[in-house]
């Protein structure tokens, strides 16, 4: 991939639309685009200019062949025009890639947009590789790797909350959080390097207690950040929630309440649902993948047997289970068997049809074992809507583990794996200090802890270490 090439690509989704944008980036972006444009005024950095898309070579002959900057004139032949466009010019280095960038906004006809790309290719541009604009931004130092990854997350956002989180990471929130921690680790490395390499200049080797104290300050925020991935993964990928229970307890009605439309068929006859019914909704900005399942009981026929098997599979695969029971009926063998399963995992026991019972003690009190483990209980009525708002709030509490801020968590599995590598290296370093190994061996572990952080935020060079040594220590006066 040659960074000196001028590249071109369509910057809007495939298909017809109101607007179609073609982006050119590189040293020849302006000279390639100008012959196909007839503009009302000169291009200026950061300013949108109205004009026309024309066939190259049909400009006013009095204008320069490559200038393309003659003023728009109604006297010019209209048959030369292909489309009306808005052109925006971003001069280097003040652009997304730090190259010269020209963006041509035409009407979103696939024919017109494709023709713009073809005209640019004919004049020497190269078709951009997938993600090449963002890769150039990274390689040219415009963004770091975490911000480049956040671009993809922002594009793929399904909810506004996901978009906000991705935008914060695109703004460098993760890099800003890791920056001070990484700096403390670099300072510790420089501290040890100075004590080893410049002992003749009266730079003392740090004591073990001091090393351990500095390592603890590095480790604590990294552990907290790594632990946040459980919530961050749900924010990015969503939560799968399976609604299970015996037939005719109101699973499909509850499903429809959460979806807020009649998605699943509801009848008074038990066993209406024979297959999995799925729907994705947004709950608190988090994608919630709801799965309505067949009623769990002794199957009456082969079709119901297959549906019940799928219900057990959905229960096993779900991140969170809604175990629905009928509050108006005594407990059954199927209820007891289901509760024994959900007690082993994150679940909410729903006493549905609460509109049919009095204010007597909750049905779920018959199962004191529910007071332990990651299981909650709630009374609802899918018919009247009672308890549905409380159910949504309870689901969110399960998702966030009691609450999480909008910043300060990681959503990328690559980042989580690298943080775990850093923590593992710090553990080895801790063992080296406690076993009184030579400081040279300790440094190997500390450098191993630094490398994964470099893969997240960017490399630390030898010059960074040396500059820190000489700026913090009076070596040789």
Give the pLDDT score at 377. Answer: 78
pTM: 0.72
Q: Give yes or no: residues 427 and 306 share one domain.
A: no
Which residue range forms the structural domain that includes residue 393? 241-400
CB of 252 closer than 8 Å to CB of 264: yes
Give the dihedral sign, CA 37/39/41/46: negative
308 in the same domain as 391: yes
Position 475 scores a pLDDT of: 38
The neighbouring-strand residues paired with 56 are none
- 302 and 433 fall within a common domain: no
Overall number of domains in the chain? 3
Q: Kindly give the pairing relationship between strand 239-244 and strand 286-292.
A: parallel
CATH number of the domain bearing residue 387: 3.40.50.300
pLDDT (mean) for 323-340: 80
Report the range out of 25-29, 146-150, 337-341, 465-469 with the highest average pLDDT.
25-29
How confident is residue 65, by pLDDT bands cut at 50, 70 and 90?
very low
* Structure-token match 């009266």, residue found: 202
Residue 165, in any domain of the structure:
no
We report the CATH number of the domain holding residue 37 as 3.30.1360.120
215 and 255 both lie in a single domain: no
Domain-embedded: residue 115: yes
* Same domain membership, residue 371 and residue 257: yes
Backbone torsion region of residue 17, taken as left when φ is above 0, otherwise alpha when ψ lies between -120 and 50, otherwise beta:
beta
**DSSP codes joined into one string, 447-464:** HHHHHHHHHHH-PPPHHH
Under DSSP, is residue 264 helix (H, G, I), strand (E, B) or coil?
Answer: coil
**Token pair of 186 as six digits:** 């670099």
Residue at 60 is within a domain: yes
Range with lowest mean pLDDT among 20-24, 152-156, 195-199: 195-199
- Choose the final residue of a domain: 400, 420, 441: 400
User: Residues 89, 93, 98, 100: is their CA dihedral positive or negative?
Assistant: positive
476: left (phi over 0), alpha (psi -120 to 50) or beta: left
How far apart, in whole angstroms, are the C-alpha atoms of residue 245 and residue 342? 11
pLDDT in tens, 349-404: 888 888 887 654 454 555 655 555 566 778 888 888 888 999 998 888 887 764 44
8 Å CB contact between 218 and 426: yes
Q: What is the mean pLDDT of the chain?
A: 81
Residue 159 falls inside a structural domain: no
Q: What end-to-end distance do the CA atoms of the chain give, in Å?
A: 47
Are both 264 and 353 inside the same structural domain? Answer: yes
Q: What is the DSSP letter of 211?
A: H
Counting beta carbons within 10 angstroms of the beta carbon of residue 429, is it exposed (0 to 12), middle (13 to 18) or buried (19 or more)?
buried
Select the more confidently predicted residue: 26 or 172.
26
**Which range, of 169-178, 303-312, 387-396, averages the lowest pLDDT?**
303-312
Q: What does the pLDDT read at residue 476?
A: 41
Which CATH number covers residue 202?
A: 1.20.120.430
Q: Does residue 256 sit in the same domain as residue 343?
A: yes
Domain final position from 400, 430, 461 = 400
Tell me which residue has tokens 């490398």: 451
Within 10 A of 25 (CB to CB), how many other CB atoms are there? 28
- Identify whether residues 430 and 385 lie together within a single domain: no
Question: Does the residue 234 lie in any domain?
Answer: no
Is residue 153 situated within a structural domain?
no
Examine the domain organization and report whether 279 and 358 are in the same domain.
Answer: yes
Task: Give 342-345 contacts, CB < 8 A, sequence gap 24+.
Answer: 342/244, 342/315, 342/375, 343/369, 343/370, 343/373, 343/375, 344/373, 345/321, 345/374
353 lies in the same domain as 269: yes
In a domain, 163, yes or no: no
User: For position 401, what pLDDT does the model report?
Assistant: 62
Task: Choose the final residue of a domain: 343, 369, 400.
Answer: 400
Q: What stretches of 173-252 adopt beta strand conformation (E)?
A: 239-244
Verify that 319 and 388 share a domain, yes or no.
Answer: yes
Three-state DSSP class for 366? helix
Contacts of 419 (CB under 8 A, 6+ apart): 222, 225, 226, 410, 452, 456
Residue 79's pLDDT band, with cuts at 50, 70 and 90, is very low
Give 108-145 pLDDT, tens digit per residue. Answer: 999 999 999 999 999 999 999 888 998 899 888 888 88
Helix, strand or coil, per DSSP, at residue 323: strand
Residues 384 and 302 in one domain: yes
* pLDDT attached to residue 5: 92
Query: Is residue 155, in this structure, part of any structural domain at all?
Result: no
- H/E element, 413: helix 413-434
pLDDT of residue 357: 74
Give the strand order in the sheet containing 375-379.
277-283, 286-292, 239-244, 320-326, 347-352, 375-379
């Amino acid at each position: 991939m040659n960074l000196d090439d001028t590249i071109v690509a369509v910057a809007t989704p495939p298909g017809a639309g109101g607007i179609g944008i073609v982006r050119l980036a590189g040293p020849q972006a302006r000279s390639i685009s100008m012959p196909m444009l007839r503009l009302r005024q000169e291009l200026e950095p950061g300013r949108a200019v109205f004009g026309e898309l024309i066939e190259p070579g049909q400009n006013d002959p009095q204008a320069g062949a490559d200038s393309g900057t003659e003023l728009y004139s109604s006297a010019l032949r209209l048959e030369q025009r292909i489309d009306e466009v808005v052109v925006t010019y971003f001069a280097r280095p003040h652009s997304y890639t730090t190259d010269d960038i020209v963006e041509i906004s035409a009407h979103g006809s696939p024919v017109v947009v494709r023709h713009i790309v073809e005209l640019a290719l004919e004049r020497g541009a190269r078709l951009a590789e997938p993600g090449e604009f963002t890769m150039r931004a990274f390689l040219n130092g415009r963004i770091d790797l975490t911000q480049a990854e956040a671009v993809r997350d922002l594009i793929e956002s399904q909810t506004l909350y996901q978009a906000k989180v991705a935008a914060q990471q695109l703004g460098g929130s993760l890099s800003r959080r890791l920056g001070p921690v990484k700096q403390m680790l670099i300072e510790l490395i420089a501290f040890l390097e100075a004590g080893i390499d410049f002992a003749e200049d009266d730079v003392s080797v740090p004591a073990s207690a001091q090393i351990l104290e500095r390592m603890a300050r590095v480790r604590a925020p990294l552990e907290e950040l790594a632990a946040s991935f459980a919530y961050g993964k749900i924010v990015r990928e969503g939560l799968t929630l399976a609604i299970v229970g015996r037939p005719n307890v109101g699973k499909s009605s509850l499903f429809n309440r959460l979806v807020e439309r009649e998605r699943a068929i509801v009848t008074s006859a038990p066993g209406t649902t024979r297959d999995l019914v799925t729907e994705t909704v947004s709950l608190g900005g988090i994608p919630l993948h709801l799965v309505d399942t067949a009623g769990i009981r002794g199957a009456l026929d082969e079709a119901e047997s297959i549906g019940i098997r799928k219900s057990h599979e959905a229960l096993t695969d779900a991140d969170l289970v809604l175990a629905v029971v009928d509050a108006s009926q005594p407990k059954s063998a199927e209820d007891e068997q289901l509760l024994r399963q959900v007690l082993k995992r994150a679940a909410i026991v729903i006493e549905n049809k609460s509109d049919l019972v009095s204010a007597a003690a909750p049905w779920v009190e018959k199962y004191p074992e529910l007071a332990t483990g990651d299981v909650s209980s709630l009374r609802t009525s899918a018919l009247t809507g009672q308890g549905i708002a409380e159910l949504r709030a309870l689901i969110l509490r399960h998702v966030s583990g009691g609450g999480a801020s909008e910043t300060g968590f990681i959503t990328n599995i690559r980042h989580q794996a690298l943080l775990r590598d850093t923590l593992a290296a710090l553990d080895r370093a801790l063992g080296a200090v406690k076993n009184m190994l030579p400081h040279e061996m300790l440094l190997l572990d500390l450098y191993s802890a630094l490398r994964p952080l470099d893969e997240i935020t960017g490399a630390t060079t030898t010059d960074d270490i040396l500059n820190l040594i000489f700026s913090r220590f009076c070596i040789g006066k």
